[in-house]
Structure 1
């Protein structure tokens, strides 16, 4: 069919002895924003490179624009109609060239006539709001700006199909949302077809249709609404004390049950909202239940349900039950980390300015911020890696200025790169870290057994770290960071690229470590799904802490100031953004085939929508930490821009 841009039939790709993709069937129609959803290793990149004509394949057939891609000649025949943006920040760009020079280079590379290229460049730089930065070298751009420049260079030759491989990985929430809004506008205005991959399930609702992939296999395909129907049921979000007892009871009735800071979130399949509310109320009878909300399932819940295998929950329960019991009575008032007026200057540049916060023993504390907000610099000062320009801090009972070696012996650190030696086995990595921290033979044996239990690594003792699935590798890295039983744990974007099952297992371990062992945790992240798990958050902007509260308190403040979040469904949702903003609804953004509107004027929103021909009333949506982050940072950026523009 002429409207089918991509058709894969039994597609398969093998690398040496590893089958990356097997028996994949899918069809992408003209004008679709089609998503490939799945964790690292799901086969997304292999399929996308093959569609772009830069990777051969061994199984099945692949057609693009009706052309069977079975040779280099056939791939070359369609490349002028394709734009490819590879995975990684700025991977298709040149660091020493300016924004404008990068765009001009790609225009010449694609043989775009000079006048046509100039006009298209101005249009794309305006849409992406990069026009003011045209002389800035690419290497000096933020992660979000690099991705927008990469999109401009991908579009400069006016392709009919664009292929974007995880374009928002490593990008802060404000830039992520901005990127998706720009992409939706371009697809609507230019009639583009887009094939986009992501590892983040919260982005899946933005797609017209999608395929959910796992280990090279397709688990489901369809629109977000159709995939949600694959696992009907209800989500219950509750707060009950004591939390550990509530978790014990609720875990017995729900395969998906996770702590979200002081709250608990569980999925009850095939239950209506009323049934779910009644079931949880009965199970929690006798406990102090402070909150009980019933919500609709999200795509991640469906993904986890599709991946669930018989007996998996029991195995995970055994693993988690092996966590050590409390060593001593926990003092929740004791401070594990205290920053007082920390500042760090590099010449005239203030990377961190007058930052203060406290982390209590047994607390999971999130330090949030966009790229360049100062999170990493603050952590380096607290861990003794960087001396502060001013201010002071205590970590695990030691002064960070005077007891650097003592602090390092009392803390655990897990970096985004996992800090493992990939050519060593599981046991060899654990023993190496035990030796680094000075454990004797008996202590090493005890901690080795504990880590194997905690991380579920039995049967993998002699496997090289490089061969482990991402989730197991990440739990091994956590075990190595905990080998010396530290009182404080620093985690740098700990679940990047891990599938939802692995991520939930990881956070379940963190929850039990904090509640049972009293380990204090400082998590630096700009992924809001991790922020929801924290007991307390500090939001950094331009080197300063601009908000310091629990996730629940931050959400309530946003509700009070800006109103409820509504989802608007309409056939022409993207076309409604401009008229809604003209009507005074400033906080409106496209979200896949729908719109999200944040407003205090509920009745007027309904009236304006009816006037625009939208028959379906807006639906209330729960506020997320991403909504909080985007609104707060957006307000601060607007204030900063206004101050620069004032005389």
Structure 2
């Protein structure tokens, strides 16, 4: 992402403060955004990102501080009106600024009239933006029938149709699959290149920080840190050690007692060792596990999420999730069963002429953490609803917890716990009242229910929250409460549909620590869907879905290995003008490339020849290449490569 034009301050926020009723939600926040940059506001729900962006856009009043946009104060509605024509604002939520009954083109035309775009300017702008967002062939489709990623791209087009100098985007990629997220960032980069647009973007995804020129980390209404991504990463010293020991449960308990950041990642453990280099950190971890057999041990540099979590720990925001008493599962109660916990065989689900699930087959072993991955609309949620007996299948069969899903739906419901994608708690009830309500639904009462609630609260680390109203709980705590409700009847299988969407990194780590305990210590089988590709690493096994079908069925390590064999190693190119560099690479046959901030990621089977070719191409086009690094392949790389290849194949078949 190159910064176009002369640098000057577009947004200047001084000592901003916002109060809701008597509660100060933001205090003394200051931030500047320079012309032509993409500035990131990163933080969990409740950190104040949306309030700050609304105030900058002139749609929210505030109590303290000064906000200047284009040098103009926007401390009143009258002042804000003077600069609104130069701003594009996209609020939080999929398609929140769109009209469901209007088509793609009708939405664009409506916003163009609203912004008084001249008819002569509208058509070329609309054609260019539809081309950039790959929405050209969906002009006539109603907005309500678009996928989540397509809604966000249409929302962006409508916010840009009047060619604003500043665009304000509030969590534009939340709930959007990795392919659509990557498309979104390419579009922003192109806008910066072509029009010199300035953008301020909020996100809860820490892995998106590398895509910004500068970043502001927010938490609970305060600014934790600001600067370039590499500057923020340098604020905390230390090393990440990844280790695989003979007893994962024992190794986890030992390391957790010594280090505040320990994550189970599949059959490995990921440990952040502060203030030590790689050699010292690896040695320290091995010494701690000296009585166990070490199968693997290697180190890597910390990620920005490690930095944020370390800052929160230093602020005493970190509380370990209590292990609680032994939690007897339904499976233990009935004795250990032979065979898989979940079996899906040729599952099909038709909604009229649309096939949402297309002959889907897979198996989930007892006590396994199993992940269903796929883009928006791939059929993941529909598959879960069929397996849990909520939705009858059009054809196919399966078994869940030892019973036929077609013939014993009620039995299945008594043996599984289900957290739906739509939030399932009653916000006007307290945490304890929600638990009592769900206990009654599961047929629990009296002292038995009280004991189950006590055990579940201990397991999920929610002691002390019992009397608090659900609507006032942080997102991560609410998700643990929803999990507690799903666990009350001691299920042997858990179905979790996007359980950590919108939850901050610390909350997600706590949540996955509970899932690890349930799987490894209690033998609960867990099937989970997620859009966080780093969470896919937590799973023992994965199925990647595309258009309702299974297109990959492997462990995370197996999927990475398969991609490496097929497409080669992953290179990171540090450049000055990534948009132009990407164009040059694609024009010369290097199409498997993507923009990451000021870098380009590229898969290649022949590193030496590819680097020589890239250097020649960039020198021929007067472009700079500062550095080339070989970096590990991530699950996001696997996901994007697979889905993009399938989309390309589907497009070629349609054109044939």
Q: Give the TM-score normalised by structure 1.
A: 0.96
Bigger shift: residues 580-589 or 254-263: 580-589
Residue 337 (1) aligns with residue 329 (2): no
Match status 1:406 vs 2:411: yes
Matched, 1:152 2:152: no
What does the per-residue CA deviation read over 1:424-448, in whole Å, with 9 as the maximum and x for residues that have no partner? 1121111111111112312112111
Deviation string 1:278-304 (CA, Å, 9 cap, x unpaired) is: 222322334332222211111111110
1:180 to 185, 189, 202: 185
CA distance in 1, matches of 2:229, 2:469: 38
- The residue number in structure 2 matching 1:212 is 217
Q: 1:430–1:365: structure 2 CA closer, same or farther, 3 Å change rule?
A: same
Aligned with 2:10: secondary structure? strand
Measure the CA separation in 2 of the matches of 1:330 and 1:262.
Answer: 25
Residue 472 of structure 1 corresponds to 477
- Structure 2 CA distance for aligned equivalents of residues 323 and 594 of structure 1: 48
The SS at the match of 1:463 is coil
Q: Structure 1 residue 325: deviation in Å?
A: 7.5
The correspondence of residues 326-475 of structure 1 with structure 2, limited to 5 A, is 334-475=339-480
Deviates more, 1:217-226 or 1:123-132: 123-132
Task: Give 1:346 deviation, angstroms.
Answer: 2.5
Partner of 1:316 in structure 2?
320
Give the counterpart of 1:265 among 270, 294, 297: 270
Cα displacement (A) at 1:374: 1.1
* Residue in structure 2 matched with residue 128 of structure 1 by the alignment: 133
Which residue does the alignment assign to 2:240? 235
1:499 Cα offset (Å): 1.1
> Which moved further from structure 2: 604-613 or 593-602?
604-613
CA distance in 1, matches of 2:649, 2:504: 38
Quote the Cα distance in structure 2 between the aligned partners of 1:505 and 1:565: 31
1:336-371 per-residue CA deviation (whole Å, 9 max, x = no partner) reads: 111111112223322111111111111111111111
**In the aligned structure 1, how far is the partner of 2:613 from the partner of 2:555?**
35
Instruction: Describe the shift of the 1:2–1:367 C-alpha distance in structure 2 as closer, same or farther (beyond 3 A).
Output: closer
Q: CA deviation at 1:277?
A: 2.0
Contact 2:570–2:633 at 8 Å: present in 1 too?
yes
Partner of residue 631, structure 2:
621
How much has 1:329 moved relative to structure 2?
12
Partner SS state of residue 122, structure 1: helix
DSSP 3-state at the match of 2:650: helix
Aligned position for 1:88: 93
Deviates more, 1:600-609 or 1:430-439: 600-609
1:14 equivalent in alignment to 2:19: yes
CA contact (8 A) 1:125 1:131 kept: yes
Distance in structure 1 (CA, Å) of the matches to 2:265 and 2:333: 24
Which moved further from structure 2: 71-80 or 137-146?
137-146
Q: Summarize deviations over 1:473-532 as a string: whole Å, max 9, x none.
A: 111111111001000111011111111111101100110001111000110223313211
Partner SS for 2:433: helix
Matches for 1:466-505 after TM superposition, within 5 Å:
466-505=471-510
Which residue number corresponds to residue 638 of structure 1?
648
Distance change in 2, residues 1:323/1:232 (3 Å): farther
SS at match of 2:646: helix
Q: Conserved in 1, the CA contact under 8 Å of 2:418 and 2:494?
A: yes
Cα pair 2:90 2:170 within 8 Å, conserved: yes
- 2: CA distance between counterparts of 1:610 and 1:489? 51
- Aligned match of 2:515: 510
- What is the root-mean-square deviation in Å for CA atoms of aligned residues? 1.8
Which of 99, 123, 130 is equivalent to 2:104?
99
Shift of 1:458: 2.1
Shift of 1:328: 7.7
- Structure 2 residue 293 is matched with structure 1 residue 288: yes
SS at 1:278's partner residue? helix
Aligned with 2:558 (options 547, 553, 572):
553
Provide the C-alpha distance between the structure 2 equivalents of 1:551 and 1:381, rounded to a whole number of angstroms. 25
CA deviations on 1:95-136 (whole Å, 9 max, x unpaired) are 222211211111111111110111211111111121122122
1:565-584 correspondence to structure 2 within 5 Å: 565-584=570-589
Corresponding position of 1:525: 530
Cα distance in 2 between the residues matched to 1:293 and 1:329: 41
Using the TM superposition, give the Cα deviation of residue 322 of structure 1 relative to its aligned residue in structure 2, in angstroms.
4.3
**Equivalent residue runs for 1:525-544 within 5 Å:** 525-544=530-549
- Structure 2 runs not aligned, ≥5 long: 1-5
Number of equivalenced pairs: 644
Deviations 1:506-563 (A, max 9, x none): 1001100011110001102233132111111111111111111111100111111111
Q: Distance in 2 between matches of 1:320 and 1:95?
A: 46
Contact 2:368 2:540 in 1 (8 A): yes
SS at match of 1:517: coil
What is the rounded CA distance, in whole Å, between the counterparts of 1:286 and 1:580 in structure 2? 51
| Preserved CA contact (<8 Å) 2:104 2:142 | yes
Bigger CA drift: 331-340 or 208-217? 331-340
Per the normalisation by structure 2, the TM-score is 0.95
Decide whether aligned partners of structure 1 residues 156 and 615 sit closer, same or farther in structure 2, where only a CA change above 3 A counts. closer
* Selected match of 1:140 from 142, 145, 148: 145
Aligned residue for 1:54, secondary structure, equals: coil
User: What secondary structure, in the 3-state scheme, does the structure 1 residue paired with 2:367 have?
Assistant: coil
Measured in 1, the distance between the counterparts of 2:11 and 2:209 equals 20
Query: 1: CA distance between counterparts of 2:238 and 2:191?
Result: 36
Deviation at 1:40, TM superposition (A): 0.8
CA distance in structure 2 between the partners assigned to 1:294 and 1:586 by the alignment: 31
Inter-CA distance 277–220: structure 2 relative to 1 (3 Å threshold): same
Q: Secondary structure at the residue paired with 2:341?
A: strand
Secondary structure at the counterpart of residue 617 of structure 1: strand
**Range that drifts further, 365-374 or 248-257:** 248-257
